[in-house]
Chains A and B, each alone.
Chain A
Amino acid sequence: MILAGGRGSRLNIIAAKRAKPAVPFGGIYRIIDFTMTNVMRSEVRHLGVLTQYRPTSLMEHLGDGESWDFHGLRATFRILPPRMGQSSTDWYRGTADAVFQNLDFLEAQKPDLVLILSGDHIYKMDYRPMIKWHLETKADLTIAGMEVPWEEVGRFGTMVLDSSLRVQTFLEKVKDSPSNIANMGVYCFNYETLAQELQNNCPKGRYDFGADVIPGMLGRSKVVAFMFDGYWRDVGTLNSFWEANQDALNPRSGLDLWSWRVRTNLEGRGQVYHPPAVVDTGAKVQNSLVSRGCVLKGEVRDSILSPGVVVEENAVVVSSVIMHDCRIGKGARVLRAILDKDVVVGEKAKIGDINPDPGCNKRFPTHLWGGLVVVGKKTEIPANCIIEPNCIVGAGVKATDMPLHLEKGESVGC
């Protein structure tokens, strides 16, 4: 079961109209592709995807699951949105509740084990060794964990383990955790245990795996950890989203798209129709990922370009994430920025700055800091416009409604 209903509010405008798992990543992918590919390569043949927040683009992307080889008689692929239950509309009230409301789907599959996964993370993992470990240790629940740097411990749920990797304590995001083993949000449950725990917790208003269900199981059930030591990122904030995209440029970061062979739905956004990328005379492309249908005449450095991006003559794109079909006008500069789909940057406009900035966005200080700029879908940046670091420009802003100068930390149209 993939939990893909997350709102991703700290991704701000790029996750405002799509669920976080549907946010484009690495040029041609969406975040959920990584988990979908893991499930496929682990040969798990029965999959439910739990959706809730703005699921349209996610549902379109997942389609009937065929891009990840979910077809044929021995495979199940089901999108599981909330539905009307006994009481009014039962929105999923938490991660555990989402699974609880779909126990009938699980029951029909008659599984021995259930993997509960998050659709929000960038990682490559074969779940089979974890399943083997789960069976060997005769656990009721196995939780994938990985060591994180001590200074980042506060960003994760953590687990205190004994020498046999049995989970002693389970802590939701706390700064002074005695453990630096993070909970990756990858759970392997015995089906019987899962069904029982959900029936015990959810009707009593305990709706969350991390906060309610798992802490309650410690001591009573056998909960063990499975240690993972590969690349794993929760791209929860605009900054971590930008950083993970930068990691995609460097296989040594651990995010190696060439060996991961991540699959995506190539039908989306007419990607399938695009010819190979064109690098024209005058173009200078350095340390960048360039997708199909891009036409480059200017300079591109340390950036990730989705399909159909056009960079005109003398334009400069540095350290940026540029999504589908954006057009960067002649002589424009886009520096340390995230541009959502279909953004048009007018001639000689300047977005962001080549250097980091110590400040943050004034309205959303916890969403955007360090000097990045974010521009929403279909926004038009007028010619000669200057947008300083830490600014957020919302989606669909017309050139005529844009100020010609946006000072540090300002927000417009959101």
Chain B
Amino acid sequence: MRDLIAMVLAGGRTDALGVLTERRPQSALPFGGMFRVIDFVLTNLAESGVEKVGILSQYKPLSLMDHVGIGRPWDYNGRTRELSFLPPYQGSKEIDWYKGTADAVYQNLHFIERHRPKDVLVLSGDHVYRMDYRPLIAMHREKKADLTMVFKPIEVSSPCRFGIGVVGKNGRVLRYFEKPEVPESNLVSLTIYCFRREVLEEQVKENARTGKTFHIYDEIIPQLVQHGKVYGFIFRRGWEYLRPVSAFYDAHMRLLRVRGEKVSMERVRTNLEEEGLAEAPPVYFASGGVATRSLVAPGSMIFGGVRRSVVFPYVRVEEDAFVAESVVFHRCHIARGARVRRAILDKGCFIGEGAVLDGGDGLIVLGKGVKVMDGAVLKGTMEILPDRVVG
């Protein structure tokens, strides 16, 4: 698709994921056993035939930049395809950190100007879903819309933490409310926007002069719904917001279920040169090990038990150790006789012999490289900072 470019907002800092995003943006967070969150959007873009992609990153972008590189795993090399990182740069004044999503686009108008596409997809790199953007683009063009935004009907609570739209019979967005006290409909905005280029340029320029929050969803969308031609595209399949940490956890538990809505991981591509994935042997299940209802990534060795869990590469679960209802990132080591239940373990954690981690009805979250001593007992909801030694 030559007359369309995509801008992926991937650098936002979030506190909602606690220790998991202390050293990385949400888009760089491991997901689904061997991927990172941004892999899903990049796979979507590649499969939709979008040829030019800009990634707007700001918060600790190094792990993201290492991971995405020049986009080779998603086939963004060659004569016509391009993937560029667009970090903040020093402007005429000082260092212009992105003040918000609209400002991030504003500061990168040159990227849009360079390609002069007909339409611009503005997406968040923080969410996990599989979507072919082509029907969205087709609707946008057919309706000659200024903006077409994607909604998904879900069960909403009051007050609502999402943007809510009211969509008329012809697909026109009639009203839009950002995080309303009492939602007027069940249509949640997925922050997937298809803008006519001129409209986007005009709006972000205007916003740069008059904005307060400098966010697209706060300031540009309500403005356009009132004064422009905005359409709603309804998406009904799996979409994971991943915030707060309980949502990140629930998204993983949904991957394990047989029936019901979940995000498909078939054909999702990732950078295999990271974390030794390219050199990982198949998973080894030892005699005496038990694994049920779990996803287990290459390079892992399971001598103990794993139930209802997502296990990333190079994890070692020793004999008589048991991992249940948990998400275990790369290179964690669960020693003999340890018990882990309802926990998220960031990369390289060590759980000592006979230690017990039980999140109860809540969740235990261990930051990168946490070491839990032999025999230690941790129960109930808690979060442990990276590299700490516990017990």
Interfacial residues, chain A to chain B (CB-CB below 8 A): 26-28, 67, 249, 257-258, 261-263, 266, 272-292, 300-301, 304-305
Given the known interface contacts A285-B289, A289-B283, the answer about A275 and B278 at a Cβ–Cβ threshold of 8 Å is no
- CB-CB contacts of B289-329 with A at 8 A, as 1s and 0s? 11111111111010000100011000000000000000000
Q: How far is the CB of A162 from chain B (nearest CB, A)?
A: 41
Please, which residue of chain A has its CB at the minimum distance from the CB of B265? A275
- Say yes or no: A288 contacts B298, CB within 8 Å: no
Q: How far is the CB of A322 from chain B (nearest CB, A)?
A: 11
- Say yes or no: A263 contacts B279, CB within 8 Å: yes
Given the known interface contacts A257-B281, A263-B278, A276-B34, the answer about A290 and B266 at a Cβ–Cβ threshold of 8 Å is no
- Say yes or no: A278 contacts B272, CB within 8 Å: no
- Say yes or no: A283 contacts B282, CB within 8 Å: no
Chain A CB within 8 A of B97 CB: no
- Say yes or no: B283 contacts A287, CB within 8 Å: no
A304 / chain B contacts, CB cutoff of 8 Å: 282
Q: What is the CA–CA distance of A18 and B289 in the complex, to the nearest angstrom?
A: 36
- Say yes or no: B285 contacts A288, CB within 8 Å: yes
Among residues 128 to 183 in chain B, which have CB atoms less than 8 Å away from a CB atom of chain A?
Answer: none
Cβ contact of A275, chosen from B34, B285, B289, B294, cutoff 8 A: B34
Extra inter-chain contacts (10) besides given A26-B281, A277-B297, A305-B282, CB under 8 Å: A28-B281, A275-B265, A275-B295, A279-B295, A289-B281, A290-B284, A291-B282, A291-B298, A300-B285, A304-B282
List the 4 shortest-distance A-B pairs measured between CB atoms, nearest first: A276-B33, A275-B265, A257-B281, A27-B282
24 A-B residue contacts at CB 8 Å?
A: A27-B281, A258-B281, A266-B278, A272-B269, A273-B266, A273-B267, A275-B32, A275-B34, A275-B265, A276-B32, A276-B297, A277-B283, A278-B295, A279-B292, A283-B291, A283-B292, A285-B289, A285-B291, A286-B285, A286-B288, A287-B287, A289-B282, A290-B282, A291-B283
Given the known interface contacts A26-B281, A27-B282, A291-B282, the answer about A261 and B276 at a Cβ–Cβ threshold of 8 Å is yes
Q: What is the CA–CA distance of A281 and B307 in the complex, to the nearest angstrom?
A: 9
B294 / chain A contacts, CB cutoff of 8 Å: 278-279
Chain A CB within 8 A of B192 CB: no
B265 / chain A contacts, CB cutoff of 8 Å: 275-276
Cβ contact of B289, chosen from A26, A280, A286, A291, cutoff 8 A: A286
Q: What is the CA–CA distance of A301 and B285 in the complex, to the nearest angstrom?
A: 9
B295 / chain A contacts, CB cutoff of 8 Å: 275-279
Chain A CB within 8 A of B390 CB: no
- Say yes or no: B279 contacts A262, CB within 8 Å: yes
Question: In the complex, which of the residues B265, B282, B296, B310 has the most CB atoms of chain A within 10 Å of its own CB atom?
Answer: B282
Q: How far is the CB of B278 from chain A (nearest CB, A)?
A: 6
Q: What is the CA–CA distance of A278 and B284 in the complex, to the nearest angstrom?
A: 13
Q: How far is the CB of A163 from chain B (nearest CB, A)?
A: 40
Chain A CB within 8 A of B109 CB: no
Given the known interface contacts A283-B292, A287-B287, the answer about A276 and B298 at a Cβ–Cβ threshold of 8 Å is yes
Chain A CB within 8 A of B268 CB: yes
Question: In the complex, which of the residues B267, B276, B284 has the most CB atoms of chain A within 10 Å of its own CB atom?
Answer: B284
Q: What is the CA–CA distance of A288 and B282 in the complex, to the nearest angstrom?
A: 9
B266 / chain A contacts, CB cutoff of 8 Å: 273-275
B272 / chain A contacts, CB cutoff of 8 Å: 266, 272
Among residues 1 to 50 in chain B, which have CB atoms less than 8 Å away from a CB atom of chain A?
Answer: 32-34
Chain A CB within 8 A of B389 CB: no
- Say yes or no: A292 contacts B298, CB within 8 Å: yes
Question: In the complex, which of the residues A27, A279, A284 has the most CB atoms of chain B within 10 Å of its own CB atom?
Answer: A279
Question: How many chain B residues touch the partner (CB < 8 A)?
Answer: 36
Cβ contact of B285, chosen from A67, A282, A285, cutoff 8 A: A285
Among residues 243 to 297 in chain B, which have CB atoms less than 8 Å away from a CB atom of chain A?
Answer: 258, 265-269, 272, 276, 278-279, 281-297
Q: How far is the CB of A244 from chain B (nearest CB, A)?
A: 14
- Say yes or no: A290 contacts B296, CB within 8 Å: yes
Cβ contact of A249, chosen from B284, B291, B293, cutoff 8 A: B284
Q: What is the CA–CA distance of A284 and B289 in the complex, to the nearest angstrom?
A: 9
Question: In the complex, which of the residues B267, B269, B281, B288 has the most CB atoms of chain A within 10 Å of its own CB atom?
Answer: B281
- Say yes or no: A28 contacts B292, CB within 8 Å: no
B287 / chain A contacts, CB cutoff of 8 Å: 286-287, 301
Please, which residue of chain A has its CB at the minimum distance from the CB of B295? A276
B311 / chain A contacts, CB cutoff of 8 Å: 276
Please, which residue of chain B has its CB at the minimum distance from the CB of A280? B293
Q: What is the CA–CA distance of A282 and B288 in the complex, to the nearest angstrom?
A: 15
Cβ contact of B292, chosen from A257, A281, A291, A300, cutoff 8 A: A281
A27 / chain B contacts, CB cutoff of 8 Å: 281-282
B296 / chain A contacts, CB cutoff of 8 Å: 276-277, 279, 290
A289 / chain B contacts, CB cutoff of 8 Å: 281-284
Q: How far is the CB of B40 from chain A (nearest CB, A)?
A: 12
- Say yes or no: A279 contacts B282, CB within 8 Å: no
Please, which residue of chain B has its CB at the minimum distance from the CB of A284? B290
Q: What is the CA–CA distance of A309 and B128 in the complex, to the nearest angstrom?
A: 26
Q: What is the CA–CA distance of A32 and B306 in the complex, to the nearest angstrom?
A: 34
Q: What is the CA–CA distance of A284 and B34 in the complex, to the nearest angstrom?
A: 23
- CB-CB contacts of B222-255 with A at 8 A, as 1s and 0s? 0000000000000000000000000000000000
Q: What is the CA–CA distance of A290 and B291 in the complex, to the nearest angstrom?
A: 12
A284 / chain B contacts, CB cutoff of 8 Å: 290
Q: What is the CA–CA distance of A286 and B292 in the complex, to the nearest angstrom?
A: 12
Among residues 62 to 96 in chain B, which have CB atoms less than 8 Å away from a CB atom of chain A?
Answer: none
Q: What is the CA–CA distance of A272 and B301 in the complex, to the nearest angstrom?
A: 20
- Say yes or no: A28 contacts B282, CB within 8 Å: yes
Please, which residue of chain B has its CB at the minimum distance from the CB of A301? B287
Please, which residue of chain B has its CB at the minimum distance from the CB of A248? B281
Q: What is the CA–CA distance of A280 and B258 in the complex, to the nearest angstrom?
A: 9
B288 / chain A contacts, CB cutoff of 8 Å: 286
Please, which residue of chain B has its CB at the minimum distance from the CB of A290? B283
Q: What is the CA–CA distance of A263 and B281 in the complex, to the nearest angstrom?
A: 9
Q: What is the CA–CA distance of A273 and B74 in the complex, to the nearest angstrom?
A: 11
A266 / chain B contacts, CB cutoff of 8 Å: 272, 278
Q: What is the CA–CA distance of A280 and B291 in the complex, to the nearest angstrom?
A: 8
A275 / chain B contacts, CB cutoff of 8 Å: 32-34, 265-266, 268, 295
B297 / chain A contacts, CB cutoff of 8 Å: 276-277, 292
Q: What is the CA–CA distance of A26 and B279 in the complex, to the nearest angstrom?
A: 13
Q: What is the CA–CA distance of A317 and B193 in the complex, to the nearest angstrom?
A: 49
Q: What is the CA–CA distance of A290 and B311 in the complex, to the nearest angstrom?
A: 14
Question: In the complex, which of the residues B272, B290, B298, B311 has the most CB atoms of chain A within 10 Å of its own CB atom?
Answer: B298
Q: How far is the CB of A35 from chain B (nearest CB, A)?
A: 16
Please, which residue of chain A has its CB at the minimum distance from the CB of B286? A287
Q: What is the CA–CA distance of A28 and B290 in the complex, to the nearest angstrom?
A: 23
- Say yes or no: B286 contacts A279, CB within 8 Å: no
Q: What is the CA–CA distance of A283 and B295 in the complex, to the nearest angstrom?
A: 12
